[in-house]
Amino acid sequence: MARIAVIGAGMGAMAAAARLAVAGHRVAVYERGETYGGGVRRFEREGFGFDTGPGLLHLPAVYRDLFLKTGKEPLESCVELSQVDPASRHVFADGTDVSLPNASRAGVVSALDTALGAGAGERWSDLVNRARDVWDATRRPLLEEPLHDDWRTLTRDPYPAVRRGLLRRGARTLAEVAHRELEDPRLGALLESHALAYGIDPRDAPPSAVVLPYVEQTFGSWYVRGGMRALAHSLYERCLARKVEFTFGAEVDVITEKDGRVSGLLLVDGTEVGADLVVAGVDPWVLAVMVGDSPVAFTRLYEARDVLPRLRRPRARFTVLLALRGARPSGAAHRTVVHTADRDAELASVFGTGGGPAARRAPCERPTVTVLRPDDPAQRPDDAHEAVTLAVTVPGHAEDAPDAIDWAADGVAEDFAERMVSVAEAAIPDLRERLLWREIRTPADAADETGVAGGAVPGPSLAGARGEQLRAANRTRLPGLYTVGGWYHPGGGLAHAGMSGALVAGLIVEGDDWRGSQ
């Protein structure tokens, strides 16, 4: 039985902790904040409840497997899961409105043909068929296996080339896929919105990013009654049932090392924690500081290119929480995406224009806004009210970095929230008349809550793009130190965090040569 110290109580860290405890290890979690769940949080006021992190779950099989392997109660005995139908509604800049059914290929084709014209559904369906090839090629190496030392094989994009035009070459980015293979700019906006939601720039994302809508359309979108925070709470309870110990308000200062391997933790308050193994669920920049006092540790962790591909700092999320008077209309879509009218301006605002000196980023005038309207009594005081969340992908927070925005500066957040409400009126026409109050959650708030620089939210790993969309391996070159969560293989998102926990547990229980579940 090993003593295992886990840094952070995010979803990936708790997933690993529960699995390791079941395997017979003594597991203790040290969390700098006062609660669990990482970015999966909840805001409550006057009977209204809101998710301030992810609002939907994809690939629920990940958590079904986690709860099955860590206890007698299955996931559905701990939380109430329901499929969202329609999966999403999309309102495009020209006023076109289309609702896409959940996990129905034929239904999506029919809806797109009706809204966008004959042939639109077939073009989308053909793209999803090619995306299936990406899924088949990358599912195991990106989701079910540790990142191999030969990770460079994943720098090759598995998306099947569609050769058109004089150059006779396939698309090199997701944006080129949208333009060349979908033809209709509205279909292109639909495809690119999946990347944007994860903070991925479609202009340099690999074509393999088509797997994002494939996963959603194939496996469906799911909602947890009470919001995603209910899932985090159930996972926390499962950890407690497996005798995992939690210490909150415990910030780690240094990961200690002895004789070339980890020996435990030193907390900011001076407490020393001995451990045989350490599982770090913090972002790489924070982790670099924790091992920085040890030249051996730092070198092993950050100069091992076969373990740590080059990392880009992800984008962040800005949310506005709306308390509305009046009942939620029957048949209202759970999720509506209101697309921007100026795609180029939005991408420049979020990701920059590329080339030349970076200039201070400014919030987009009319961004793509996701409107979440869960039909959930647990999120509202009564049926005469409705809780609505607006979410936008934005640059992270910083007071002086040129590629960020100072979201704490006077008026910046309020002005941007006002723009978001204006955009959301395309989904809820009587929004302003019904508005009781609103709460704003900026990347600066996320940074304060989670300790992540800029409030950044990591996206999932993707094949191709010279490996730039991969995440660091879960096994480091410092013996005894492992990494878990959205910042590491296989990347961000609720499902990916759960997979990360499974991979770390597998490496520790089965050994560093473990190649994944068979």
Q: What is the full DSSP assignment across 188-251?
A: HHHHHHHHHHTT--TTTS-GGGGHHHHHHHHH--EEETT-HHHHHHHHHHHHHHTT-EEEES--
Q: Give the span between the Cα atoms of 254 and 191, in whole angstroms.
A: 43
Peptide bond into 490 cis (omega under 30): yes
Per-residue pLDDT, 324: 98
- Name the phi and psi angles at 283, rounded to 5: -70, 160
Instruction: With beta carbons less than 8 A apart as the criterion, state whether 288 and 280 touch.
Output: no
Q: Give the span between the Cα atoms of 465 and 98, in whole angstroms.
A: 32
The per-residue pLDDT for range 408-427, each reduced to its tens digit, is 999 999 999 999 999 999 99
The per-residue pLDDT for range 279-335, each reduced to its tens digit, is 999 988 888 889 875 555 545 454 444 444 455 667 999 999 999 999 999 999 999
Instruction: With beta carbons less than 8 A apart as the criterion, state whether 232 and 40 touch.
Output: yes
Between residues 502 and 308, which one has the greater pLDDT? 502
Q: What is the full DSSP assignment across 28-65?
A: EEEESSSSSSTT--EEEETTEEEESS---BS-THHHHH
Q: Give the span between the Cα atoms of 84 and 58, in whole angstroms.
A: 11
The owner of tokens 């209309």 is 329
The per-residue pLDDT for range 327-350, each reduced to its tens digit, is 999 999 999 999 999 999 999 999
Residues comprising the chain, all counted: 518
Instruction: With beta carbons less than 8 A apart as the criterion, state whether 442 and 405 touch.
Output: no
Per-residue pLDDT, 307: 42
**Which pair of structure tokens corresponds to residue 14?**
């708790």
* pTM of the complete model: 0.93
Give the residue extent of every domain in the chain. Answer: 3-40+59-80+226-311+460-510, 85-219, 315-455
CATH of domain 3-40+59-80+226-311+460-510: 3.50.50.60
Instruction: With beta carbons less than 8 A apart as the criterion, state whether 379 and 424 touch.
Output: no
Compute the mean pLDDT over every residue in the chain, rounded to the nearest whole number. 91
Instruction: With beta carbons less than 8 A apart as the criterion, state whether 256 and 270 touch.
Output: no
Residue 17's closest CA among 195, 325, 258, 275? 275
Amino acid making up residue 159: Y
Residue 255's closest CA among 482, 70, 489, 100? 482
First to last CA, the chain: 25
